[in-house]
Amino acid sequence: MDKPLIAQKKPYVIEEEPGTKFWCACGRSKNQPYCDGSHKGTGISPVKVEITEKKKVFWCGCKHSEKGAFCDGSHRHL
């Protein structure tokens, strides 16, 4: 299994509408922070996230968060 690439060393802050999102866990997507299928062959799968209400989301950009799809500040230690 490949290691995830660091897409950026800060979160993607997005005002999200309710719905299903697939967060890119591999760091290879050209449509960050969402999956575009670039993970194929890496052994890393996107993370399905259900957004239930309109809100600001801090998506992990470094792909090393202990909170999965959501930023926990891990980028500060890379």
Q: How many domains does the chain have?
A: 1
Question: Is 4 domain-assigned?
Answer: no
Taking 3-state DSSP, the helix, strand and coil percentages for the chain, each rounded to the nearest 5, stand at: 5, 30, 65
- Expressed as residue numbers, the domain containing 50 is 12-77
Question: Is 71 domain-assigned?
Answer: yes
Entry pTM: 0.94
Question: Is 25 domain-assigned?
Answer: yes
Residue 75 three-state SS: helix
Q: Residues 24-57: pLDDT tens digits?
A: 999 999 999 999 999 999 999 999 999 999 999 9
Question: Is 7 domain-assigned?
Answer: no
Q: Taking 90 as the threshold, does the pLDDT of residue 2 lie above it?
A: no
Question: Is 2 domain-assigned?
Answer: no
Question: Is 24 domain-assigned?
Answer: yes
Question: Is 1 domain-assigned?
Answer: no
